[in-house]
A and B are shown apart, each in its own frame.
Chain A
Amino acid sequence: MAKTFGFAESRGGELRKVAFEAVAAARKAADASGGGEVHALVIGAPGIAAKAEQLGRYGADVVTVVEHPALERYSPEVFAATAAEQIRAGGYRAAFFAASGQGRDLAPRVAARLDASLASDVTTFEIQGDAVLAQHPAYVGKVIVTLRLAGTPALLSLRPGALTAAEQPRGARVEKAAPAMDPATAKVVVTELAQSRATKLDLGEAPVIVSGGRGLKAAEHFKLVEDLAAAFGNAAVGATRAVTDDGWRPPTDQIGQTGRVVSPDLYVAIGISGAIQHLAGMRTAKTIVAINKDKDAPIFKVADYGIVGDLFEILPRLTEEIRKARAAH
């Protein structure tokens, strides 16, 4: 029997989806090693404790809540010190983080403080005797590496959305704790958190992504892409590097080797030729649709459904048909 740990990320006073994924993964690891307790850690401004019980739904037995007025936003030093202290004290077999923007900063700091092994951006894992084996897509997604983590605790950061957060309700016991260091003494301070797209779905979390490339010919034609995304109702808009380099879309929209790596249920590539750098960011989508005027474009090699033709003719009709299909079901 082994205890495990999940770091539950929050933003703006709410737990994020990746928090449930980390806790569900910790549950899975605990069950795989004989069914020990799962401990979760939530850090935030006063009030976050009210959200802690939600983590019981995904298998947390104990939720430690650290509330402090100065911790409304992320504080790398305080979060790392507090998580490291909790993990050290808990004697966990494994500790899970999200490979989110915050988790990718936090997990390596905690690993260094604990002198522990860390596998990053993990898509699946298993407990095998003394070791944890974790799969991680590397080489721009072209090679799947299975990593062996030796020693205890093993730290893993999980690719958002890769592991479904299965519900396994437990009556989570909520305990309060103090931060491991005084937030006023932190050297690195997040002075502002700007929600850049508060009303829109994030690329990492959207089930559908509609993405545009140079084939759209001009920035204003992205309206067609946005219209299609709106018709789906659960879609985010992405772009190729050529498009973000030209300033048609913000750099944060870029999907590919140097941008975001996404695995949505559906990826619709509009006017995208399918350069290897772009494919690196979306080849693990469950279903890929491509619309391009060049029938020899490499995107058609990976597209489950391709339509060859003029996107300016095809898109309005597709948007209309998707809207109708969604209204009918």
Chain B
Amino acid sequence: MKVAVCIKRVPEMDLRFSIAPDKKSLEQSGLKYEMGDFDGYALEVALQLAEKQGGEVTVISLGPDGVQETLRKGLAMGAARAVQLKADQVPFDGLAIAKALAAELKDAGYDLILFGRMATDTASGTVGPMTAELLGLPCVSSISQLDIADGRGTARRDLEGAAETVEFPLPAVLTIDEGIARPRLASLKGIMAAKKKPLDVKPAQLGEPRLTVEAMALPPERPAGRIIGEGSDAVPELVRLLRTEAKVL
């Protein structure tokens, strides 16, 4: 089984963000980067499939040379090879990215192409289904369970208050939700081996972006928190405030 996993390098989300003077981007100094949360789950799913059913995993990432670090991490976790689709910047427009990925993935013979459910930075979750459409491949998004056997798959998608069971033929594109597999840590041996694994660099054939960032701003600060009391004696005051001030009762 040949599996591709498209991963994104995103800022660590527990950092404090500030907006750059152009009011359209993040202040870059102080940012640290990691592999997107959901991309880690997707990679783990791919590695487990390759281990159980034979085959190899390729990690693909679009972006500046900084993404090579993220790709090396994927190699250290167990991917066999990596591809950087080189671009100075990663556009916000999912379709522009999907076009570049589709150009790379087309006719490459992958049985499965995996994505995380969404990148934690742009939080849009569009690139996976868009890439599938451009490639004309079956796609199931945001899955929390997966079985693959005899060239077919069965997946579970969680919706609001419901869950779908979905069947599909391979090759297919899947986007992976949390809860399916916990990403492994790279071993020291894996990290050493990763240095010798192939990492190809190719120019990204990005589409023309039509979704662009007009402005970025920090959300309005919540008013400072207020402790209204201690223990159950504070309950009547809380209920009074919920009724008269917050008006939620």
Contact = CB atoms under 8 A, between A and B. Distances in A.
A188 interface: yes
Q: How would you classify the secondary structure of chain B's contact residues: helix, strand, loop or mixed?
A: mixed
Interface string A79-112: 0100000000000000000001110110111011
B148 interface: no
Q: How would you classify the secondary structure of chain A's contact residues: helix, strand, loop or mixed?
A: mixed
Interface string A128-156: 00000100111111111111111100000
A202 interface: yes
B65 interface: no
B98 interface: yes
Contacts of A109: 129-130, 132-133, 139
A139 B33 CA distance: 13
B231 A326 contact: no
Contacts of A204: 160
Contacts of B132: 109
A150 B96 CA distance: 13
B227 A117 contact: no
Contacts of A148: 211-214
Interface string A287-312: 11110000100011111111111100
Lowest 9 CB-CB distances: which A-B pairs, in order? Answer: A101-B159, A112-B133, A108-B126, A251-B179, A309-B231, A192-B165, A120-B124, A117-B210, A108-B129
25 contacts: A74-B164, A102-B159, A105-B142, A108-B94, A112-B98, A115-B95, A118-B94, A120-B94, A120-B125, A133-B214, A142-B17, A143-B219, A146-B216, A149-B211, A191-B165, A251-B179, A254-B178, A289-B238, A304-B246, A305-B226, A305-B241, A306-B227, A307-B230, A314-B235, A322-B249
Interface of A: 11, 73-74, 76-77, 80, 100-102, 104-105, 107-109, 111-113, 115-121, 133, 136-151, 160, 187-198, 200, 202-205, 207-208, 244, 251-252, 254, 257-259, 265-266, 276-277, 280, 283-284, 286-290, 295, 299-310, 313-314, 317-318, 321-322, 325-326, 329
